[in-house]
Amino acid sequence: MPRLYGFEDMAFRRVRESEAEGARAAASRRLLKQSFNAITEWMNAEGYRTTRGGRWRPDGVANMLDHPAIAGLAEDENGNLVETGCPAIISREDFVAIRAMRRTSDPEKQRVEQRDYMVPSHITACGLCGTPLGSSPSNSGSRGYRCSPSTAQHPGGCGRVRINADLLETYLAELVLAELAKPGVSALIDQARDEMLAQAAGLRKEAAAARRRQKKLGEDYARLPDMSLKAFRTADMELKQLISEREVRARFLEQVKHVPVGAIPDLVRWWKHAPLQAKRGVLTLMLEQVVLYPAASRGSRTVNADRVALQWRQWGESAAEMAVGLEADC
């Protein structure tokens, strides 16, 4: 779980002032009744980045401002706000005022609980515009994957491709299990799994090295009078981007650690009871890309090769080659 923006630790005892500044500014703008979309655009334009180095999204800003810890508070078992004695980034009064701006306090009207999706967005693409697909429930509430329309926060999508999640996941499961059942595939999977985990470890090391360079950059800026603020921010932003890219790629590749090692006697039975992480790991290991095209007719529930194009991973490729083309996600 990532740490809360504005704090150095998960116990909320040490404030990271460079981030706290952005959190306070976001809170001030929310108190002026600015929308989360507007606050998000402002934070990204000012160079503020999430704890993982990515660009902000409206739901991320909303979740950050809705966390009691930013006001030195916690919620007890009855939902009441209590003091924790930890440092506060914004005042209790401001936090309560921001919470009061929620759309509703009616439990029956709260946002539907987020449900799990099996297909990692990294391996998906819209067949019309090439944008990765996102998880998106339909108006009836059923799970779905779709190419989202282009917005200021998420530019590039066409919004013209959607599919029911159950249909797509069942279709992919049938094909992947058939591939896994082929003789000799289990040994190849074990080798590819180890290679991809080794690649992930290498990316983690690169990210750690970039973090050390970022720390030294800050020390140099504080110590050297000749370094301008503009030069510091440019270099710092480049390092943040590098760290984000390496960590996102590593997290994507690390999904394969949940793939079981060795042959599985009854693949269908195993898949039926396998945890979601294991299924996502298998798809990551087996598929390079899943490209989705529009349905032949509105409301169609047919899923076949005309609608879903698969690019299978080539067994025996090096882990580095496997990682080519991965996009950073925030």
Q: Can you tell me the mean pLDDT for 160-172?
A: 93
Mean residue pLDDT of the chain comes to 83
pLDDT digits (tens, 9 = 90+) for 181-226: 887 777 778 788 888 888 889 999 999 999 999 888 888 888 887 8
User: Can you give the pLDDT at residue 183?
Assistant: 78
pLDDT at 311 over 50: yes
pTM of the model: 0.56
Q: Is 17-109 a CATH 3.90.1750.20 domain?
A: yes
- Contacts of 309-316 with CB under 8 Å at 24 or more apart are 309/127, 310/172, 310/175, 311/287, 312/179, 312/286, 312/287, 312/288, 313/192, 313/285, 313/286, 313/287, 313/288, 315/188, 315/192, 316/188
Q: How far apart are CA 111 and CA 74, in angstroms?
A: 21
> Could you tell me what percent of the chain has a pLDDT over 90?
35
Give me the helix-helix angle, 185-223 and 165-180, nearest 10°.
120
Asked if residue 214 lies in contact with residue 170, where contact means CB atoms within 8 angstroms, the answer is no
Question: What is the b/e burial string over 4-39, where b = at least 16 CB atoms within 10 angstroms of the residue's CB?
Answer: bbbbeeeebeebbeebbebbbebbebbeeeeebebb
Structure tokens belonging to residue 223: 């110590």
Question: Predicted confidence band at 76 (pLDDT cuts at 50, 70, 90)?
Answer: confident
User: Can you give the pLDDT at residue 1?
Assistant: 52
Asked if residue 167 lies in contact with residue 161, where contact means CB atoms within 8 angstroms, the answer is no
In sequence order, what are the residues at sequence separation of 6 or more whose Cβ sits closer than 8 angstroms to the Cβ of residue 70?
4, 6, 23, 27, 64, 88, 89, 90, 95
In sequence order, what are the residues at sequence separation of 6 or more whose Cβ sits closer than 8 angstroms to the Cβ of residue 26?
39, 43, 61, 64, 65
User: Can you give the pLDDT at residue 52?
Assistant: 85
Between the CA of residue 109 and those of 30, 79, 102, 113, 197, what are the distances in Å?
A: 22, 17, 11, 11, 42
Q: Can you tell me the mean pLDDT for 272-279?
A: 85
Q: Can you tell me the mean pLDDT for 50-64?
A: 90
Q: Can you tell me the mean pLDDT for 271-295?
A: 90
Q: Can you tell me the mean pLDDT for 159-168?
A: 92
Residue written as token pair 């709260």 = 110
pLDDT digits (tens, 9 = 90+) for 115-128: 578 999 889 999 99
Q: How far apart are CA 296 and CA 73, in angstroms?
A: 53
